[in-house]
Amino acid sequence: MIRLIMELKNLPHSSWVPAFAGMTLVVMSTSPKITGAPMINIHHFWSEAVVPFIFLIGSVFLVVVPLLLAIAYLTYAERKVIASMQLRIGPNVVGWFGLLQPFADGLKVLHKETIIPTRANTLLFLMAPLITFGLSLSAWAVIPFSAGVVISNINVGILYLFAISSLGVYGVIIAGWASNSKYAFLGALRSAAQMVSYEVSIGLIIITVLLSAGSLNLSQIVEAQSGLWYVVPHLPMAVLFVISALAETNRAPFDLPEAEAELVSGYNVEYSSMSFALFFLGEYGNMILMSAMGTILFLGGWLPPFSIAPFTWIPGIVWFALKISFILFIFLWVRATFPRFRYDQLMRLGWKVFLPFSLFWVFLTASIIVAFNQIHGV
């Protein structure tokens, strides 16, 4: 798998071919070949456009299929972890230790009926889960799994991630409006306000890391941490990032958009069958995505903790997966531990605590970099 992607990266004109990862998205590259090869001969069309395109589709599959498996087993892990914390057993009937439970759930939800509410806006109603799911997959186009193992190594990788994660709100808000239901609409409004608020602090946290790394490219951000992971100098920002990620993915204790006591189930209350499953998969995909983002920004991506013998034997992709699993475990741990926030407290935390503090940290980082003359790339 790794070799295939590496081969793909070495092909000359592969980087600008549109990728179809869930939705049509253009994966860009700043390689000068965009203008360098505008006129492609029909003979070269196969070798320069079609073959790289097929390779690209192949590599997208190589990312998406393990990702879907990871999402399935994240739901299983969540049930098992929370069960252990509450002194229960959790799923243990379907398959060995209940390991086939996610597939049983998937099959069950697949053969249910898709119900479209009266006077709902049918097209938007069906589009919303597709948007949520497609976005959670398309962000993986820029995630580096190991040194050089990435579908599209673009210059503005972190901005692309930020842009995709800021679009996640559309799936929710469109679902809430198109359902023609008060509960769903209230859930969507809560979610939109919450996600927009916490994006501000996530943006500032990203800026502190960018200042330290001196690059917007995700691989370069990881490589800049080869001496010291940013979780050490930027520990407060790492904590803030995890909390903001909880709010951004609507997870407990910030799961107000789907607070079951007030809103039944929030924006997805009218959804059933596969349309609901897509929301579910999208949400868990977003959790994994935010964990991957946290890993790249603060935990050194694919780098081993120490670059000495026993640690360097383990391939980078394993370290990457382990670090993602660690952050995901925090997500589950928090859900089993804390009660839900009240909405005004949530907004206060976002705007009056996180925003000033992360802004202060941006100033501090910038000042230290200027004071010690550590400016990159000038």
Positions touching another protein (CB under 8 A) are: 18, 26, 28, 30, 34-35, 38-42, 45, 49, 124, 154-156, 159-160, 162-163, 166-167, 169-170, 173-174, 177, 185, 189, 192-193, 196, 199, 203, 216, 344, 348, 377-378
Minimal distance, residue 26 CB to another protein, in Å: 6
Residue 210 or 332 having the CB closest to another protein: 210
* Separation between Cα atoms, residue 286 and residue 300, nearest integer Å: 20
Minimal distance, residue 44 CB to another protein, in Å: 9
Residue 174 or 218 having the CB closest to another protein: 174
β-bridge mates for residue 82, sequence order:
none
β-bridge mates for residue 23, sequence order:
21
Minimal distance, residue 318 CB to another protein, in Å: 31
Minimal distance, residue 28 CB to another protein, in Å: 4
Reduced to 3 states, what is the DSSP secondary structure of residue 20?
Answer: strand
Residue 198 or 320 having the CB closest to another protein: 198
The number of residues making up the chain comes to 378
* Separation between Cα atoms, residue 135 and residue 291, nearest integer Å: 16
Residue 174 or 362 having the CB closest to another protein: 174
* Separation between Cα atoms, residue 87 and residue 84, nearest integer Å: 5
Residue 107 or 163 having the CB closest to another protein: 163
Is residue 95 within 8 A of residue 41, CB to CB? The reply is: no
Minimal distance, residue 52 CB to another protein, in Å: 11
CB proximity list for 5: less than 8 A, separation 6 or greater: 59, 62, 149, 150, 151
Residue 81 or 256 having the CB closest to another protein: 256
Minimal distance, residue 166 CB to another protein, in Å: 3
Residue 49 or 321 having the CB closest to another protein: 49
For every residue of 194-226, DSSP letters joined together read HHHHHHHHHHHHHHHHHHHH--S-HHHHHHTTS
Reduced to 3 states, what is the DSSP secondary structure of residue 98?
Answer: helix
Reduced to 3 states, what is the DSSP secondary structure of residue 19?
Answer: strand
* Separation between Cα atoms, residue 325 and residue 361, nearest integer Å: 27
* Separation between Cα atoms, residue 151 and residue 148, nearest integer Å: 9
Which tokens is 40 given?
A: 């492609």
Residue owning tokens 């009660």: 339
Which tokens is 123 given?
A: 């097209």
Minimal distance, residue 165 CB to another protein, in Å: 9
Residue 75 or 132 having the CB closest to another protein: 132
Minimal distance, residue 156 CB to another protein, in Å: 5
Minimal distance, residue 211 CB to another protein, in Å: 12
Residue 13 or 79 having the CB closest to another protein: 13
* Angle, in degrees to the nearest 10, between helices 355-371 and 182-213: 10
Helices of type H across 111-181: 122-138, 157-178
